[in-house]
Amino acid sequence: MKSVRLVLASLGRRKRTRSVFTVLVILVAFLLYGYLSAIRAAFSMGIDLAGEDRLLATHKTSIIQLLPYSYLDRIARIPGVERVTHAIWFGGIYQDPSRNFQGVFQNPCDPESYLALYPEFILPPEQKAAWLTDREGAIVGRATAERYGWKIGDRVPIQATFWRRKDGSPTWEFNIRGIYDGAKKGIDNTQFLFRYDYFDEARAVGDGLVGWFILRVADPDRSAEFARAIDAEFENSPYETKTVTEKVLIQGFAKQVGDIGRIITSVLAAVFFTMMLVAANTIAQSVRERTGELATLKTVGFTDGEVLRLVLAESCLLALVGGGAGLLLAWVLTSSGDPTGGFLPIFYIPGRDLAIGAVLVVLLGGVTGFLPAFGAMRLRIVDALRRG
């Protein structure tokens, strides 16, 4: 208890302003660390959560090239393929063209088979049933529903940028029949999914074509073998395919925006470590200014080990208060969702990064306090009083 009072007195009553600013520097540093982690997770675009047993077959030339719907049955007959579905890019605008429905992945799909392949999308049974009975029905992720204020039963008009209707109109109207949630943190809950049969029947061009096929294989370890079998099935046809795992495809998309992510990450990392150096220098300076006080403590009976522990405790307390508050504030702010308004559909601090942050807090306190504490422990009373 005596040691605790000494540490608190050192931080609170003497050089209080410096203690406060040191804590604030550490807080800001770990707040930046939290955002750094969230941005890294956002630009990885769910790579860590991608299904190991899911493959995507796209046109060999480009994912924007279409494939015949008839490929569905042929893929399903390939040994090792357990389930297959399809989707196609829509790309529409809701209300304000300048916002361009940012961050909302819009897919016409087959409801039953699509949800079966994505069990991480949690949709209440009654909402799924309502979607299956409404050809103009759609389901939407929780984040998008909250962003636009949609609720079940709303009729939502989407302006197509390419897929016009047969009557020439660019406006497609959908009934919101369900709002899905992610089974765990990091699952993309921003998508807007509607029925392919309604889309295919009403679109002006492209009848019977889809964008890509999604399939689940029996043995994820043999994914490369299954991918080769699928591509061989359509080799030398007018619509050759390129099949990869879902993880590989997402990594490809992530690389397209990776430069932006690396730039942001590099800037924040530089600021973070600069603030760490400032905090470390401040703590070391505080100890250097107290040589006379430390000599007095030794004079009245404090051992070298007790002096070492006092200085380390002071350093660790500053780090714990500032770092803990910074991590907590970062977690609260990132939990509120994407600060860009939709550009980053996945934005949160992974649990692994929070644990690493906690370790960094402890290391900060120990590393920045060790050398000053070691010097204080070895300090001779006579030399310290002479300096003082």
Domain boundaries, the chain: 2-46+258-387, 49-256
In 3D space, the residue among 35, 21, 27 whose CA is nearest the CA of residue 321 turns out to be 27
Tokens 């030794």 belong to 298
CA pair distance 258, 262, nearest whole angstrom? 6
Residue type, 8: L
269, two tokens: 């990392």
Determine how many CB atoms are found less than 10 A away from the CB of residue 185: 13
Rounded CA separation 195/236 (Å): 31
Q: Evaluate whether 25 touches 273 at the Cβ level (below 8 Å).
A: no
Q: Is 84 helix (H, G, I), strand (E, B) or coil?
A: strand
Distances (CA, A) of 27 to 21, 191, 325: 10, 35, 6
The b-or-e profile of 351-360 (16+ CB within 10 A means b, else e) is eebbeebeeb
121-122 vs 171-182, strand pairing mode: antiparallel
Buried b (16+ CB within 10 A) or exposed e, 6-45: bbeebbeeebeeebeebbebbbbbbbbbbbbbbbbbbbbb
| Tens-level pLDDT at each residue, the chain (388 residues) | 455 566 555 655 556 777 788 888 888 888 888 888 887 776 665 545 445 678 999 999 988 899 999 999 999 999 999 999 999 999 888 876 665 555 578 999 999 999 999 998 999 999 999 999 999 999 999 988 988 899 999 999 999 988 999 999 999 999 999 999 988 877 888 899 999 999 999 999 999 999 999 999 988 888 889 999 999 999 999 999 999 887 766 555 555 555 555 666 677 677 777 776 776 777 667 666 666 666 666 666 667 667 667 777 777 888 888 889 999 998 888 876 665 555 556 677 888 888 988 888 888 888 777 766 666 666 666 555 555 5
Rounded distance between C-alpha atoms, residue 361 and residue 356, angstroms: 9
HSE-CB for 225 with a 13 A CA cutoff: 10
Q: What is the dihedral of CA 44, 48, 52, 54, to 10 degrees?
A: -40
Q: Are strands 241-245 and 54-59 parallel, antiparallel or unpaired?
A: antiparallel
Q: State the sign of the Cα–Cα–Cα–Cα dihedral 127, 94, 113, 180.
A: negative
Are 209 and 67 contacting, i.e. CB atoms less than 8 angstroms apart? yes
**Predicted local distance difference test score (pLDDT) of residue 152:** 96
